[in-house]
Structure 1
Amino acid sequence: MSRFSARNAIVTGGARGIGAAIAEALVKEDISVVIADLLEHEGCEVARKLGSTAKFCRLDVTDDANWRIVIDEAEEAFGPLAILVNNAGILDFGGIETQSPVMFRHVVDVNLYGAWLGMHLAAPRLRAGGGGVIVNISSTAGLLGYAGIGGYVASKWGLRGLTKAAAIELGPAGIRVCSVHPGPIHTPMTAGLDASVAATQPLARFGEPEEVAAMVRFLITEATFSTGSEFVLDGGATAGQALPLPNAS
């Protein structure tokens, strides 16, 4: 697993969906995991299911003091922190003219500021441990624009750029930083989306949380020469658009 020996991870938004799948994938790699989330019942249940190498901690990713407590608890439970997966995120529907300023700010605070705060506070621990990996879960909304979710798009593009800045800064300390960009994935957050969202993709289906988790596991355990890079899981949606061919004469 890269060039460091510590096997302790924090996964934000780990109580369900993609985060829970990531936590499970890491535990299967003998990596201890702190499941950090506001959803206490769901998070405790995931930790119980995964066993003694998983622990739930309540975390509001926008709260500086809460982050410090969770990082301390992670190291007390499992030793030096080596991995941070910034997965926590929210989605609010609203156009430029209709989304409230409060909700725009809330989406950016959770999706972008929360990830920055995690990196800001975790990086010194990773540095002290001799290196580590940070994986930021962005979105295809960090690669393309989408109407009606401007706050989400802004936050995910910001996280993509922040990933690159962090990779440049932290690389000399042996800390790799990459972003993952899922398209539509079957999670509670996308439960209200119509199946037609994926209909025009080359792979015309929603992805599964386990498919994203497999990519994150690969980045942490195998992709030891990758940093500042974007990894896309979108069924080919960002590859381009299929055009109808003219009838052969």
Structure 2
Amino acid sequence: MDKEKFHIPMPDERTIQNQINQIVAAGVKRNKSFPAYLKSMYHQVGIRHLFSDRSEFVFILFIAINLLSIFLVRSETVLRQVDNLYAFIFLISPVLFIALSVYTYSNKIMNTTYEVEMTCKYNVYQIIAFRMLLFSIISILVNSMTILFIVMSYNDAHFFRAFMISITGLFIFSIVFLYTLMKKHSTVIAAMTIIGWVLGNLLLKFLDNKFYSDILINLPLFVYGIVLIGSISFYIHLLKRLVYFKQTKGAF
């Protein structure tokens, strides 16, 4: 009696491809979206550990606001001209962000536990990214209150224009600062970036005062809006790169 041959039907190409896709989907862990990642970090680490040095931040916030208030009072005669006022707002818009971010960056990078923290589920750079996002929000709120105070004191100043100048300046500096730190992990580079921001604005003001003033005073608000939207988008993009930083690659 002849034995029957055992026949296994071969799947068609489409079935094979579907099975491959299912295996890959089950085996490959997808990156969470940026908001989901931050939410997960917040719930798993907790705000107390994300901001373990809260007292230092409150102190920095207090000092920054007081120094800004003193400078505004002392510079009242100089800032009477609206172009000088807007230039000043653009210059000092990232002050609070600078103070908080530099402290965080220096504290984390120079900490003796840096190597240990880099092996954690949420490493140093991811914690810094979370903090910087929150610092941006805090800076917007503080800047808004400062501008409201300025507008109440200076009749020629317009709140919406001053607000747009301030927030645009904040995010332009934030992009430069974050991009620089991602390329060169150094507190010296951070300090040089801040000095460059101050000197660059002062040079624009004093070397070509008319051109600089025209941009601040006469540039249409919708142009500020376009620049601001672009700046915020690129800033979020850089924060995403910081969040998804892989230590094994050694780069962003």
Q: Taking structure 2 as the reference length, what is the TM-score of the superposition? A: 0.30
**Using CA pairs below 8 Å that are at least 6 residues apart, which structure has the higher relative contact order?**
2
Larger Rg over CA atoms: 2
